[in-house]
Amino acid sequence: MKHNKLYECSVCHKKFGSSHIIHADIIRDTVSQLIKKDISTWDGMSNICDNDLHHYQNLYVNNLLETDQGNLTELEKEVINNITNHELISTNLDKDFDTKWTLGERVADKIASFGGSWAFMGVFAGFLLVWITINSMIFLWNPVDPFPYILLNLVLSCLAAIQAPIIMMSQNRQEAKDRVRSQHDYQVNLKAELEIRQLNEKIDHLLYHQWEKLTKIEEIQLDVLEELRLKKI
C-alpha cells in the first residue's frame, strides 16, 4: 500500500501532504522576509502550509497598502477581510439604495425626473399658452390676470422656488449613489489586483509540484533504462 509523504510546516509544525505544502524557494522574497521575522529558523529549505502562507500574504498586502497610502481605510480592510474569508464584494447597489431612502427623497427623485423630461415641457408650454390666451381676451370679458400677467409671474416664481430645492435633493441623492459606486468599483479593482497576486503564487506552487512529479518520473525511467542495460550486459 502506497503512503503519501508528509511534510512538516515550519510555522505551525503540523504535518501535511505535498498538495498543502509550499516550499520556501518558490515564495516571494517579500513574503519570506515577513515569515523570517516570526520564525528564526526559516530558510530556503523550509516548508509552509497553505493556510499559514495565506496569512503572511494577507499581512504583506496589509503592510504594502499602509506603506503606499498610510493607515488602511475601512474599505481596504473590508477588501482584505473578504479575501481572507473568500467572500464576494459585488452587490446590487441600486437595490440597496431603494431600501435606504425615505419617502420624501423618493418623491423628490420622481418630481425631479419628471421636471427634466419633455413631457413636463409639453404640459408646461400648454399651460402657458392656455393661460395667456384666456387672459388676453380683454375685449370679451374682464380676465383674472390681464397683460402683463402679474399673477402668472407670481405662479412661475413660486414654482421655481419650490422646484430648485427639489432638484438639489435629487442631485444630492445621485451624488451619494455615484460616491458609493466609485467606492465599490475601487474595492472590486483592489480585490482583483490582490487576488491576481495570490493566483500567481498558487500557479508557482502548482508548477513546482508538477516539476517535482516530472523529475520523479524521469528518475524512474532512468532506473528502468539502467536495469535494461545491465540485463543486456
pLDDT in tens, 140-167: 678 888 888 899 999 999 988 988 888 8
Q: At 220, list the grid cell.
A: 524512474
Q: What is the mean pLDDT of residues 94-122?
A: 79
Helix (H) / strand (E) element for 211: namely helix 150-232
Residue type, 33: Q
Nearest to 130 by CA among 118, 139, 143: 143
Measured CA to CA in angstroms, residue 204 lies from 133, 158, 211 at distances of 81, 70, 10
- The secondary structure of 113-141 as a DSSP string is HHHTSHHHHHHHHHHHHHHHHHHT-TTTS
Task: Name the pLDDT band for 32 (thresholds 50, 70, 90).
Answer: confident
- What was the pLDDT predicted at 197? 72
Pick the CATH number of 1-72 from 3.40.1800, 1.10.3470, 1.10.10, 3.30.70: 3.40.1800
Q: At 177, list the grid cell.
A: 449613489
Q: What is the mean pLDDT of residues 207-230?
A: 66
Q: What is the mean pLDDT of the chain?
A: 77
What are the sequence ranges of the domains in the chain? 1-72, 81-233
